[in-house]
Structure 1
């Protein structure tokens, strides 16, 4: 009788321990799914969905990484959208996307949101004009006065007698915040009559089609349809960022809410891998983070 009771107690203890382990595993699985998928056990395939939004400057690099990552992991979907750095930061803080892409560091309003910064590349930015503009170089002071509306004619900076039209980005854009920080006089903002575009591609098209116009964009978007200016007498090329003479650039950030796990972590790890960085970052006109640390 006592033997049967002891056996029953032992079986009950085992059942309770098993239930506890299963509950713990279930909680871990829920957390992993919130981070964009599950961590694959040894010998099985990674699966899940990763969502990212934000910076249009970073978009070409993230899309390339997504395409290659999905090719390697057939059971993972990576959805990438633009919308501007402000949108990416807001959405990742709210938990509506796994990754928020930004050209600028998250501001004070995100300090208590648990965001974790992952610097994945350096994006060079350039000032561009319509091809009819005869000016080839702007100093920081000249560019600042143009963007704030103090200078309104190209003749005042050595060009033809032609009205200047400013084409910029919307308030949520990290590119706008970056140029404001690096070019505009402290405390000044862009001219109120500046034309705002929702994406870098739209800005490039507007500059291409608007006589006398000027704008700003990350270097991967600048093509032969617009004119790229020197800044402070220095031409944009990677070696001029390495040697410190070209000043228009920003570290590109991919924020997660908490430390990433599952497919989200695997995707970020792939973006930072030597395989991806060496093959794609410079090819897409970005600067590898590793080169900035030398």
Structure 2
């Protein structure tokens, strides 16, 4: 699983605090990983000899095949990839609540649905904000799996975690638009759509609205420079140039230049949803009519 660098954590921490308390509610804590944390924070220390057998909705085929996997075989392969990447033999080796997985399936191509035992205690660690929901917690679980297998699974479109009784579910998705990567305008629009989807993943509950447009986010957090993204272009494949228009964010709510704040956050959120060959390698943000310019490089924000 990828671990974000220390500098990434600093910027993300700022995003957690967002606007001043007098202007708007405090944004939720985003799912980040400490550089000092274990390589896979979902993995518990286990004895391989005592791990339990796996369960899937349908038994995996025992016959080898040279063709691309589909259906239950494909779902099983994604779970196996996650375990292999985590260095465990059973999902029981994951930390709580990931170790509550009981079964999984692929209801349609590219879609993975994972079921959890109904005994799951939501917000057991007490880390969620008061406005965050069970859907938020389950969606973050999907993000965590994506960070392990998504980059090398280009066919994977979404991961849903749900309790077996169907009462709770949350979905993390790539939010692709089907853009031709050689069409600079279409590719830039897709990256923008993925970033906006990433913002919705974090702020939907706090804003009490699905963030389908930037205007929705701006109404929620009017002093955040992210809310004033004006133009996104792609001068070359793997590169984005983002322009921020003037607005209330210029009053000095934040302790760092808007260009650095926005560029780091955008490249993380977009690349969380990207497979191999789809990542943004370089993202430049221009604010204050060019007086504030900053560039984030993928190699500096991911490792």
Q: TM-score under structure 2 normalisation?
A: 0.27
**Which protein, 1 or 2, shows the higher relative CO under an 8 Å CA cutoff with sep ≥ 6?**
1
The structure with the largest strand share of the pair is 1
Q: TM-score under structure 1 normalisation?
A: 0.28
